[in-house]
Chains A and B, each alone.
Chain A
Amino acid sequence: MRANALHKARRWVQLAVFLVFLYLTIRAAAVPSTAGLFFWLDPLAAASGMIAARRITAALLIGSLAALLFSLVLGRAWCGWICPMGTVLDWFGGRKARPSEADLPPRWRQIKYFLLALILLLAVLGNLSLIFLDPITLITRTVAVAAWPAFNAILWGLEQAAYVVPFLRGPVDALETAARGTLLPAVQPVYAAGVITALVFAGAVALNAVRTRFWCRYLCPLGALLGLVSKVAWIRREANADCTACRSCVRACPMGTIDAADGFRSNPSECTLCLDCASACPRDGQSFTGHLRPARWQAEDPSRRQFLASAGGAIATIGLLAIEPAAARPSPHLVRPPGAHDPEFLARCIRCGLCIRACPTGGLEPSVGTSGWRGIWAPVLTPRQGHCDYGCNACGQVCPTGAIPALPLEIRRQQVMGHAYIDRNRCIPWVDNRICLVCEEMCPLPEKAIQLEEVTVVTPAGEEALIRRPYVLHDLCTGCGICENRCPLAGESAIRVYAPTDLSAVAPAT
């Protein structure tokens, strides 16, 4: 087997796949029909999403079957060749264990099976609260919420610094013309969850200092799923007769699964087919051949007791989620993307973050506290940060599970996300008798949901004056939030979008 050539090829394949992943994530709004590619190929997110939502999406079904078939042939090669998170973890390689240093106890590897079972059992119970542990959602969210906004901010700073130098102005202008509004966001996105997301991802990478591919070995629930499938995978690593017990492979294996005490065999549930062992071996002592019989069960593989512990954990999670405030009363400012309604939305949303990336105003952001623990990382609209653009329906177009429905623009515009309410104790024309009508000007509806009433007031100087004041028509307001976004008051806006109330059944005045 041309191990060395394949081994080098793996690095290139990883890079190419990573670049595709980056492109699809960054340009999600421009390529909505393919932006969810990595979620179709992620059997954990796809299966959990479909099970919890009780509905099948063709792309998710076909993709996850293809990924499982791939794993049935090549084991955890998905982790070693395709996973973008694995690629980043390889790039920040971490410390290889010394030959004398033992791997962490086998129980550690069981954590990932515990999490896998927890996620799948919760999905069976209609709950997706822990799907944010899936690595593809993790890295997509990190790009959308932390990495790309931070990169944009750094780039903007560099551009402004460069603009001082006359001959650099041309290239900066060329970059802005080519990329601003398309590749680079038109407005700098800032998210409440931005720093936490970055820290969580950095933490996952930093764990490489303890053991290489720490996440993949001990924590990754998707790796656990593919690991279970790999027990019956066709291609597996074996040490062959040429092996001289030099232990080079043990040192080289990033998953730490080659056991010197066990004839240098590895566990197919852990082996990612990275071929580092074959590359390090001086004698071509590994074989990657076909096997039909299931691999034997080892100490670090999941046990029945552990599965029961997962079941208990799932029930405990459901119980905990039932006693949090969000279960009984939603946050007053909980505004979901257009067409998405709780609780069905939370059973369909895989917390991938693509809608957040696609939103052109930066208004959609991962919820931290607004929808409780049950809705962590699921998107909410924060109008003061970014409104829902009247000319846009990107979020529904990119959503890989249809949790945000893909609606034609005209239908999307009619979705009621919330209702705007004016605080008459702060609104400038109401309180200060000064002229301001920005909210009415900005309202994009053909029949504006903000109308003006003209009243006579007495100014502080004691004169009578005519002033126009805004009021909201809640039958018309869809909660897009551009009014809240543009209100010129410092700090909190005088007009705020609240979770919608259906007033149609309430009797009007007679």
Chain B
Amino acid sequence: MSVIRDRRQFLRQMLALTITGVGASACRTSKPAAVNPTPAEPVEAFVATPGAAAPKPTSAPALVRPSPSVPQAARPTSQAAQPAAQPPAAPAVALPTAADTADLAVARGSGADPAELVHRAIAALGGIERFVKPGANVIVKPNICTAYYGPEYAATTNPQVVAAVVALCLGAGAKRVRVMDAPFGGTAQNAYAKSGIGDAVQAAGGEMEVMSRMRYRALELPNGRKIKEWQVYGDALDADVLINLPIAKDHGSTRLTLGMKNLMGLIQDRSGFHSRGLDQCIADLNSSLKPQLTVVDAVRILMENGPTGGNLNDVKATGTVIASADIVAADAYATTLFGMTGKDIGYIRLGAEMGLGQMDLNAVRTVEIPV
């Protein structure tokens, strides 16, 4: 009977569609992410001063590259852990040798042009070309946490610093430079406008992007002590270069918010960090989410009432920009601007313990550049 035949055919078609749909979604999750395929790996951040031993990870290697079937943003940085999967370094350009670059660059000059501070600091690290190759897909992650106050309140990253980084990346031949953050106070559109970052980035040729709720996916954190997996913004995991651009601020929970904490803007569930032990979760996130470059904006810093700010009396003009590929070292140096040390901040201490970077500033090759 034709009715039964039609029904069978209909069911067959539905089955085919279902299989296609399931296959499509399975393909999506198992596709290896094109993360950091740079054949020319930048010089590792862990290059210690000659004679000093490379920091040994406590138990498991500081960073293990997960199996290729799982998308990852990991980049092997520890020379102690040499997974077989590490791609052979075949630099297309001659990289600066260890002798003429620093691990940590600090440009300082009261009243200096913030863009100039950024240029000098990154130049001292070996130039932006060390991190950004021609054709790179770059994501810059500043701190645009609220839409409450203008940039002079030092609650959001200095727009001139952001624009300078964007311009440098484009100058190095980046195909695309996107700037994004997910504010906790106000909408992204308002925050981008109020902070001045929207206009500055557009003038520099970059793109502001509103982070979409659709585009988060699971990042495995195999070295996490408290958490083993978290939903992170997919575009940040897929980018060729992730540049972390925090502003140094006072913070109630963690005492200071700097580079390691700034990455929280890229996760979907921030409340989950607060309820599981904020410092350890930040360190766990940093164990697998590793920006190639961290530039700490300390042109103006927020001494009290952070992270939201709002009182110009709490703002101190320190005229400093700190740059490093080692996020722990950058954060440890930034604490000194508040009269603290890296040990005073939970996530910095835990990050050093887990081998994510160097907290002891004496073991880091630092260059201070007066501007």
Chain A residues close to B by CB (< 8 Å): 159-160, 163-166, 172-173, 176-177, 180-182, 186, 360, 389-392, 435-438, 440-448, 452, 468, 482, 486, 488
B251 within 8 A of A: yes
Chain A residue at minimum C-beta to C-beta distance from B147: A391
How many whole Å from B321's CB to the nearest CB in chain A? 25
Q: Which residues of A contact B184 (CB under 8 A)?
A: 442, 486
> Are A160 and B309 touching (Cβ within 8 A)?
no
How many whole Å from B195's CB to the nearest CB in chain A? 11
Contacts A159-B214, A173-B214, A442-B184 given: A391-B310 contact, CB under 8 Å? no
Say what secondary structure dominates the interface of chain A.
Answer: loop
> Are B308 and A488 touching (Cβ within 8 A)?
no
User: In the complex the two chains form, what is the Cα distance from A182 to B27 in whole Å?
Assistant: 33
Q: Which residues of B contact A440 (CB under 8 A)?
A: 252-253
Contacts A180-B210, A390-B148, A435-B278 given: A164-B252 contact, CB under 8 Å? no
B336 within 8 A of A: no
> Are A444 and B214 touching (Cβ within 8 A)?
no
B36 within 8 A of A: no
Query: When the two chains form the complex, which single residue of B24, B252, B310 contacts A444, counting CB atoms closer than 8 Å?
Result: B310
Listed stretches B50-58, B111-119, B168-176, B186-194; interface member: B186-194
> Are B189 and A442 touching (Cβ within 8 A)?
no
Contacts A181-B189, A437-B252 given: A447-B305 contact, CB under 8 Å? yes
> Are B311 and A447 touching (Cβ within 8 A)?
yes
> Are B28 and A164 touching (Cβ within 8 A)?
yes
Interface residues of B in 234-264 (CB under 8 A from A): 251-253
B21 within 8 A of A: yes
Q: In the complex, given contacts A436-B275, A437-B252, what are 13 additional A-B residue pairs having Cβ atoms less than 8 angstroms apart?
A: A164-B21, A172-B214, A181-B210, A389-B147, A389-B186, A390-B185, A435-B277, A441-B251, A442-B185, A443-B308, A446-B310, A446-B311, A447-B305
Query: When the two chains form the complex, which single residue of B186, B212, B274 contacts A392, counting CB atoms closer than 8 Å?
Result: B186
> Are A173 and B252 touching (Cβ within 8 A)?
no
Q: Which residues of A contact B275 (CB under 8 A)?
A: 436, 488
User: In the complex the two chains form, what is the Cα distance from A36 to B214 in whole Å?
Assistant: 34
Chain A residue at minimum C-beta to C-beta distance from B311: A446
Q: Mark B165-208, 1 if CB is under 8 A from A, else 0.
A: 00000000000000000001111111100100000000000000
User: In the complex the two chains form, what is the Cα distance from A389 to B24 in whole Å?
Assistant: 40
User: In the complex the two chains form, what is the Cα distance from A443 to B185 in whole Å?
Assistant: 10
Chain B residue at minimum C-beta to C-beta distance from A451: B252
Q: Which residues of B contact A482 (CB under 8 A)?
A: 185
Q: Which residues of B contact A390 (CB under 8 A)?
A: 146, 148, 185-186
Contacts A166-B24, A186-B187, A390-B185 given: A442-B308 contact, CB under 8 Å? yes
User: In the complex the two chains form, what is the Cα distance from A389 to B194 in whole Å?
Assistant: 14
Q: List 29 A-B contacts (CB under 8 A).
A: A163-B214, A164-B25, A164-B28, A165-B21, A165-B24, A166-B28, A173-B215, A176-B212, A180-B210, A180-B212, A181-B189, A186-B188, A360-B187, A389-B147, A389-B186, A391-B147, A391-B191, A436-B253, A436-B274, A441-B253, A442-B184, A442-B308, A444-B310, A445-B308, A445-B310, A446-B309, A446-B310, A446-B314, A488-B271
User: In the complex the two chains form, what is the Cα distance from A446 to B146 in whole Å?
Assistant: 13
Q: Which residues of A contact B159 (CB under 8 A)?
A: none
B76 within 8 A of A: no
Query: When the two chains form the complex, which single residue of A181, A438, A448 contacts B274, counting CB atoms closer than 8 Å?
Result: A438
> Are A391 and B189 touching (Cβ within 8 A)?
no
Chain A residue at minimum C-beta to C-beta distance from B307: A441
How many whole Å from B280's CB to the nearest CB in chain A? 11
Q: Which residues of B contact A437 (CB under 8 A)?
A: 252-253
Chain A residue at minimum C-beta to C-beta distance from B189: A181
Q: Which residues of B contact A389 (CB under 8 A)?
A: 147, 185-186
> Are A176 and B308 touching (Cβ within 8 A)?
no
> Are A391 and B212 touching (Cβ within 8 A)?
no
Chain B residue at minimum C-beta to C-beta distance from A488: B275
Interface residues of B in 1-33 (CB under 8 A from A): 21, 24-25, 27-28
User: In the complex the two chains form, what is the Cα distance from A438 to B271 in whole Å?
Assistant: 9
Chain A residue at minimum C-beta to C-beta distance from B312: A446
Q: Which residues of B contact A438 (CB under 8 A)?
A: 253, 271, 274
Q: Which residues of A contact B28 (CB under 8 A)?
A: 164, 166
Contacts A177-B210, A391-B190 given: A488-B274 contact, CB under 8 Å? yes
User: In the complex the two chains form, what is the Cα distance from A302 to B189 in whole Å?
Assistant: 54
How many whole Å from A452's CB to the nearest CB in chain B? 6
Q: Which residues of A contact B146 (CB under 8 A)?
A: 390-391, 444
Q: Which residues of A contact B307 (CB under 8 A)?
A: 441
Q: Which residues of B contact A164 (CB under 8 A)?
A: 21, 24-25, 28
> Are A177 and B277 touching (Cβ within 8 A)?
no
Q: Which residues of A contact B194 (CB under 8 A)?
A: 391
Contacts A488-B274, A488-B275 given: A446-B305 contact, CB under 8 Å? yes
Query: When the two chains form the complex, which single residue of A182, A392, A444 contacts B308, counting CB atoms closer than 8 Å?
Result: A444
User: In the complex the two chains form, what is the Cα distance from A435 to B254 in whole Å?
Assistant: 10
Contacts A181-B187, A391-B190, A444-B146 given: A160-B214 contact, CB under 8 Å? yes
How many whole Å from A502's CB to the nearest CB in chain B? 24
> Are B305 and A444 touching (Cβ within 8 A)?
no
